[in-house]
């Protein structure tokens, strides 16, 4: 998704929600996730309600956005900034969000990638991944390991040091970035939608 397409998708919260739903990032419920009742309805803008046991749940339930107090439009923009390798201290200004909120989103994206790369690397079958991302053999390889280290070194330097605790998340994110550099945009949004 280039910037021109991004303007379309983020022109309103409704458009943004449509996009997130299409990517599977937001869950589309066809029945109550608690009791299975088929009659549900949208209430108060961001909640669903079950007409069986009258339970309510947030439309962000079971998604990367659960518990995040960020507009859908801003989340989509945050993913784009992540793709463009804009560091959190700059991204928060572009998004007009607090550093901590932006950092949290960045962190969730990295955790998502970590989970994805780990699952795929060890050959686990994951229905959602298979559905959203089509691999010919279900495995991800680093093509040309020497090329990758040069690529990773250059990027890790930009972070001015990463803590030991988070290093593996950064490394996995770079692995993902490297492997899918040809269509990173599409892969990242699909991957977030596929990983829950
Ligand atoms: Zn129910």
- Better-predicted residue by pLDDT, 194 or 52: 52
Across the range 154-176, mean pLDDT stands at 80
42 CA from centroid of ligand 1 (Å)? 13
Does the structure show a pLDDT above 50 at 144?
Answer: yes
pLDDT band at 50 (very low <50, low <70, confident <90, very high): very high
35 CA from centroid of ligand 1 (Å)? 4
Give CA–CA dist 51/124, Å, rounded: 37
Query: Which residue's entry shows tokens 């983020």?
Result: 10
67 CA from centroid of ligand 1 (Å)? 21
pLDDT band at 14 (very low <50, low <70, confident <90, very high): very high
What are the tens digits of pLDDT across the range 66-125? 989 899 999 999 999 999 999 999 999 999 999 999 999 999 999 888 888 877 766 555
Which among 87, 176, 159, 154 has a CA at the least distance from the CA of 95? 87
174 CA from centroid of ligand 1 (Å)? 41
Does the structure show a pLDDT above 70 at 65?
Answer: yes
């Amino acid at each position: 998704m280039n910037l021109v397409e991004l303007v379309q998708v983020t022109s309103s919260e409704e458009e943004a929600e449509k996009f997130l739903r299409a990517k599977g990032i937001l869950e589309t419920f066809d029945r109550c996730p608690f009791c299975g009742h088929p009659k549900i309805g949208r209430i108060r803008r961001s909640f669903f309600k079950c007409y069986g046991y009258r339970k309510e749940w947030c439309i962000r339930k079971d998604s990367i956005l659960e518990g995040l107090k960020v507009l859908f439009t801003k989340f989509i923009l945050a993913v784009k900034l992540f793709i463009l390798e804009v560091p959190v201290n700059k991204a928060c200004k572009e998004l007009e969000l607090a550093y901590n909120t932006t950092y949290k989103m960045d962190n969730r994206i990295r955790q998502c990638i970590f989970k994805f790369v780990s699952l795929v690397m060890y050959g686990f079958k994951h229905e959602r991944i298979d559905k959203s991302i089509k691999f010919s053999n279900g495995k991800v390889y680093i093509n040309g390991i020497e090329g990758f280290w040069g690529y990773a070194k250059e990027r890790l330097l930009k972070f001015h040091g990463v803590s030991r605790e988070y290093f593996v998340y950064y490394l996995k994110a770079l692995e993902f970035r490297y492997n899918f550099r040809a269509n990173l945009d599409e892969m990242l949004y699909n991957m977030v939608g596929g990983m829950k």
